[in-house]
Structure 1
């Protein structure tokens, strides 16, 4: 589909439109509704400058294609976006990656999707093709609209192209394993977080804490000797981190079975210094303690109250019934800001309606 056709269709739309690529993240957020508008015809890398550390791609470009191109130049998306099996056979598109705003194991050390968005091209509800940002970090004065698209789930407009920062692959990596209970693991993570250590990712589950070190050979070697633990060979560690990134490892496979039986998978965002939360169910902890996955049959109110009591919030990630709402309810002032922002981009309220909140 040509850009002119897309602009006309969005300008004239008065019924709900559902923007989608591979459909790999249809499970995330509230249930998608509306007539499908696929981005898959918007396919291709439009600019790539390895020496300048940026890549631009159309929204329907498969994420796998872009990552394969980056790998040829020993580069990567440092935020490790999850890759889920897609409804149309893919594992996610560039536009869907930005719209969902999900990041993988290295997020705490290297930043989120939003932190790596340099620019975006978007079609709004008036059919206007809007260009935001550029190809370098210091290119915005005022409100950075391109980064507002990250995590918006398509509610502000149709993303047609994005420009993202890329980083070199690390010279060395090492994975360490420690036999720690949850409380000990959290204390260790917070202690190490205050030291100049090249910790790129962490994961605790079922009595074991794994750390991934990354950086210069000397730095990784020195940190491994200082921290101790059991060294996991890279050829064994890599599948674990990939499985964690793509939510295909043992914890998430078990969580999907539990969800099929009526439990819920929650994603808790908490201050990293939060001590062990005594919640019924299995927990997996990432990001130095700041992200905690909980699969539990507990009532939603109990989970949300537990997160709020320590200054965090809870997102319902997977469930058969989302009647309790996926995202933490907004305060009245914040909800008003969301409504005004959506109205400014989508005056007819037809872009992916309800994906973030049922009344938005």
Structure 2
């Protein structure tokens, strides 16, 4: 069985076969606590609707989940586990997923967010554990001030600078290199942003770049070659990748446009101590580059889906 919402990230699934189970009729924000900073919603709720609700209270999902289309749902956000440019500084979906409910292969409602079914296994599970029905997420206040900077430096120097800056506390919340420039985002109190800006230098730039990066609308992403996401440790050295590269997550995520065979790209990623995932539906096998299933995930799948209804 294939679980789908807006199908904005279906190319990441391990299989497109089987009967489709659509979540979009199971929607709606159920509860928001602005004081305790959490929100609860049904899985078929449009991500856009959730963000609109949070905007009214000057709150946000700090991990900046991408939509890729207007139909993206909250359930798909959790199932794929994708996060935007702020990920290295605040954590990802798993760190903000407080709990929720899913329906297992036997039709039983199972609550997650405890030792029996940890949230970290549900985030990024790609629908393999069951139908995620309700979700409770931690939210955060929007920053008091945001400033984007542009520094014209090489990619290798940008990587070294990012690695140095990320060792110390600062209002840095975004770092990417594209074209000939390093782009930085500072967020926090006006005093902290002003102080850090004076240390870093550079010229002020348009903050819309971060939305364009998150939604893959920058010019880099229009290159016709297949898109790969190479994830490594932030301190991984600069190494030539076979194609055009955009640095994200302070260097921990390296977007690659390349026509090289998948095996070549995987070897380059492994040499950096990481992995490469294909993001182009027609450019390579769906889900290529997903990590081997961990033992705790395998055991949980066996418990929730012994017949393999939600199998790969």
Q: How much has 1:295 moved relative to structure 2?
A: 0.9
Deviations 1:7-41 (A, max 9, x none): xxxxxxxxxx1111111111223342211111111
The whole-number CA distance in structure 2 between the counterparts of 1:329 and 1:71 is 35
After superposition, residues 189-268 of structure 1 pair within 5 angstroms as: 189-232=162-205, 237-254=206-223, 257-258=224-225, 264-268=226-230
Provide the TM-score with structure 2 as the length reference: 0.95
1:29/1:326 contact within 8 Å kept: no
2:13/2:286 contact within 8 Å kept: no
Q: How much has 1:318 moved relative to structure 2?
A: 1.4
Deviations 1:155-213 (A, max 9, x none): 10100000000000000010110111111001100111122221001110112100000
2:39/2:136 contact within 8 Å kept: yes
| Residue 151 (structure 1) aligns with | 124
1:65 lines up with 2:49 in the alignment:
yes
Provide the TM-score with structure 1 as the length reference: 0.83
SS of residue paired to 2:173: strand
1:30 lines up with 2:3 in the alignment:
no
Question: Which residue of the other structure, out of 23, 34, 45, is the alignment partner of 1:39?
Answer: 23
CA-based RMSD: 1.7
Which stretch shows the higher mean deviation, 282-291 or 238-247? 238-247
Aligned residue pairs total 312
Greater RCO, 1 or 2 (C-alpha within 8 Å, sep 6+): 1
| Residue 295 (structure 1) aligns with | 257
The whole-number CA distance in structure 2 between the counterparts of 1:319 and 1:298 is 16
Question: Which residue of the other structure, out of 304, 312, 316, is the alignment partner of 2:274?
Answer: 312
| Residue 95 (structure 1) aligns with | 75
The whole-number CA distance in structure 2 between the counterparts of 1:340 and 1:72 is 41
The whole-number CA distance in structure 1 between the counterparts of 2:285 and 2:234 is 29
Q: How much has 1:337 moved relative to structure 2?
A: 4.9
Which stretch shows the higher mean deviation, 194-203 or 283-292? 194-203
Task: Provide closer, same or farther for how the CA distance between residues 324 and 27 of structure 1 changes in structure 2, counting only shifts above 3 A.
Answer: closer
Q: How much has 1:325 moved relative to structure 2?
A: 6.0
1:116/1:165 contact within 8 Å kept: yes
1:342 lines up with 2:304 in the alignment:
no
Task: Provide closer, same or farther for how the CA distance between residues 163 and 212 of structure 1 changes in structure 2, counting only shifts above 3 A.
Answer: same
The whole-number CA distance in structure 1 between the counterparts of 2:137 and 2:124 is 15
Q: How much has 1:315 moved relative to structure 2?
A: 1.2
Task: Provide closer, same or farther for how the CA distance between residues 107 and 44 of structure 1 changes in structure 2, counting only shifts above 3 A.
Answer: same
The whole-number CA distance in structure 1 between the counterparts of 2:162 and 2:105 is 46
1:282/1:295 contact within 8 Å kept: yes
Task: Provide closer, same or farther for how the CA distance between residues 275 and 346 of structure 1 changes in structure 2, counting only shifts above 3 A.
Answer: same
| Residue 162 (structure 1) aligns with | 135
The whole-number CA distance in structure 1 between the counterparts of 2:156 and 2:57 is 41
The whole-number CA distance in structure 2 between the counterparts of 1:144 and 1:293 is 32
| Residue 89 (structure 2) aligns with | 109
Which has more helix, going by share of residues?
1
1:185 lines up with 2:165 in the alignment:
no
2:85/2:248 contact within 8 Å kept: yes
